[in-house]
Amino acid sequence: MAAKIDRQKVQDSFHRQANDYDCHAVVQCRVVEKVVGMLQAQQLAPARLLDIGAGTGRLLGRVTELYPEASAVGADLAPGMCRAAAENLAGKRVEMVNADAENLPFAPESFDLVLSTSTYQWLSSLDQAFSEASRVLVPGGLFCFALFGERTLFELRDSYRSALSGASDRSHSFFSRSEVEEALERVGFAGATVTSELEVEMHPDVPELLRSLKRIGAGTTAPVAANGLSERRIMLDMMAAYRSDFGREDGIPATYEVIYGVARKAK
């Protein structure tokens, strides 16, 4: 189960990094392409679609090519992301809305297709967001999403915990595949297919990994270094443990577990 999350901190972080996000979000971009492939396999022809957590509009740009006749809407919690997406998608039939995944400002049964990538891991619970996705879908409408699962950044979290020696663990936790499946079932999605894949990024060292996470607005996934000597020592011990336990000749790996889901709202 994911820990309690400061949504304002997440919003502010992604707002600040909107302009640089696409330059550094390597795994997230691969996830977008995987979701596009999943959609192509469905052979859809949606008239209205929604991307929840649209970010800079990368997925929206791809699906408007896939469904050129569709009316598309993107929703994102971070105003900076909404502005970046609007600029990136200028000239396309896309409307951007500053909105929360857990409280969507749309009428029931507004969309034939609801999408989301790399967003739901920022929630404390999946039920409300999945319920909102179901509410705005027409009966029989498709829900297709991807989020980061429990194995994400396990190297960083394991190294941090080994350095804590009983101190409070402030690292981010992620949902498991079974938690995703159970949440879909609880809110009434039918025939859900949920899979997971591992993606690995290589970084020269741990400080560069932490900088990379900050550049994509995901600094809240990492432990925060405070000014106190004891916390600085924990961070140094964490980096040493990471190098010792996971280091390779070409640097240190950072693993992401990507959970993909496809489900339909009951007719």
The answer to whether residue 45 is domain-embedded is yes
Per-residue pLDDT, 81:
86
Domain count, the chain: 1
Please give the model's pTM, rounded to 2 decimal places.
Answer: 0.85
The answer to whether residue 119 is domain-embedded is yes
Per-residue pLDDT, 48:
97
The answer to whether residue 208 is domain-embedded is no
| Contact status, residue 115 vs residue 50, Cβ threshold 8 Å | yes
Instruction: For CA atoms 131, 133, 136, 141, give the dihedral sign.
Output: negative
Per-residue pLDDT, 31:
92
Spell out, as residue ranges, where the chain has pLDDT lower than 70.
1-25, 166-171, 216-229
Give the residue from 142, 144, 145, 190 showing the smallest Cα distance to 45. 142
Q: What is the pLDDT of residues 120-162, one digit of tens each?
A: 998 989 999 999 999 999 999 999 999 999 999 999 999 998 8
**Distance between CA 249 and CA 237 in Å, rounded?**
20
Instruction: For CA atoms 130, 136, 139, 145, give the dihedral sign.
Output: negative
Per-residue pLDDT, 68:
93
The answer to whether residue 224 is domain-embedded is no
The answer to whether residue 231 is domain-embedded is no
Give the residue from 166, 170, 160 showing the smallest Cα distance to 240. 160
CATH number at residue 14: 3.40.50.150
* Boundaries of domain holding 118: 7-152+173-199+256-265
The answer to whether residue 131 is domain-embedded is yes
**Distance between CA 116 and CA 31 in Å, rounded?**
10
Per-residue pLDDT, 216:
59
The answer to whether residue 180 is domain-embedded is yes
The answer to whether residue 187 is domain-embedded is yes
Instruction: For CA atoms 108, 9, 198, 164, give the dihedral sign.
Output: negative
Element (H, E) at 260: strand 252-265
**Distance between CA 206 and CA 243 in Å, rounded?**
8
Per-residue pLDDT, 25:
56
